[in-house]
Amino acid sequence: MADETTNTAAPVAATEGGSSSSAPSSRPDGGGDRGPRGPRPGGRPGAGPGGPREGGRKFFRRKKVCKFCVEKIDGVNYKDVRLLGQFVAESGKIVPRRLTGVCTPHQRRLADAIKQARNIALLPFSTR
Amino acid sequence: MQRTYELMFIVRPDMTEEDQDKLVATLEGHVATAGGTVKNVERMGKRRLAYLVRRFQDGIYVLMVLEGDGAMVKELERRLRVTEPVIKFITVRVDEEQKRLAKVKALRDAKVRGKGTRAAAAEAAAAAAAETAATAPADTTPASV
């Protein structure tokens, strides 16, 4: 935890220094990256490995990409229990995009498919 | 209006093969009388249910791919509801999704062939979409008019 806070703090200083001296253009980028990222390490500790963070501009960003876009899975089918199961929590809940990284259109289809699968008893509504 | 539907239903796990055959045969008869056609029947076999349905832990899943109109589905669902061994069923319309998938696939193929130039890809996709649009009604012409 302490390590993570120092991680976030270090680039701040780097951008601050960079903006004042040589690279003013890098600053808005840095601010944008840092803003939403701040509280996250606390929310999901150990979610991703540290990336390149030296150089002031290159920030560590968790590689979270939509599985469906990457693997080119077009249709999300309610019969594919193994696929849907990856996006259902132990309790039977649909895992939010924020945790899985699925893009909005795919999450929409995924949610529909999961609900259909629940209706035909392929997936649980909730686990007992 | 002919549409493609997937009808998935679960029958009680203690149902014999012959009874299943009989049930599927009667359903096919009902589909035929409603003016539809059965494209495919798939026995998915016995599976554990995710939750108890009428006190059953397991069920035998059967998937039927049908073509027909909404009235056919309505009638079929009514009959399934009163068919005692059927413990659960779901009807899903799939033609729109298939059309969408064909479009996406055509777009992707065009992109691969067109080596990334956006205009070429879009052009090819449009052509492919037109092609699928042309073929799709051709398949369903007998009843769609």
The interface predicted TM-score (ipTM) is 0.70
CATH topology of domain A67-119: 30s Ribosomal Protein S18 (4.10.640)
Q: What is the pLDDT along chain A (128 residues), one digit of tens a residue?
A: 444 444 444 444 444 433 333 334 444 443 334 434 434 443 344 344 444 445 556 666 666 788 888 888 888 888 888 899 999 998 999 999 999 889 998 999 999 999 999 999 999 998 86
User: Which chain A residue is nearest to residue B108, measuring alpha carbons?
Assistant: A72
Contacts of B92 in chain A (CB under 8 A): 78, 116
- List the single residue in A74, A116, A125 with the smallest CB-CB distance to B51: A125
Read out DSSP for B11-45? Answer: E-TT--HHHHHHHHHHHHHHHHHTT-EEEEEEEEE
The Cα–Cα gap between B19 and B5 comes to 24
Which residues are bridge partners to A88 per DSSP?
Answer: A94
Number of Cβ within 10 Å of residue B67's Cβ equals 19
Closest CA to A51 of A40, A37, A61, A39: A61
**Region B51-75 average pLDDT:** 91
Q: Is the pTM of this model over 0.80?
A: no
Q: Output the pLDDT for position A20.
A: 38
Q: Which of B81, B59, B65, B63 is nearest to B11 (CA)?
A: B59
Across the interface, do B51 and A116 touch by the CB < 8 Å criterion? Answer: no
Length, in residues, of chain B: 145
pLDDT at A1: 41
Domain ranges of chain A: 1-62, 67-119
| Token couple for B33 | 């009388």
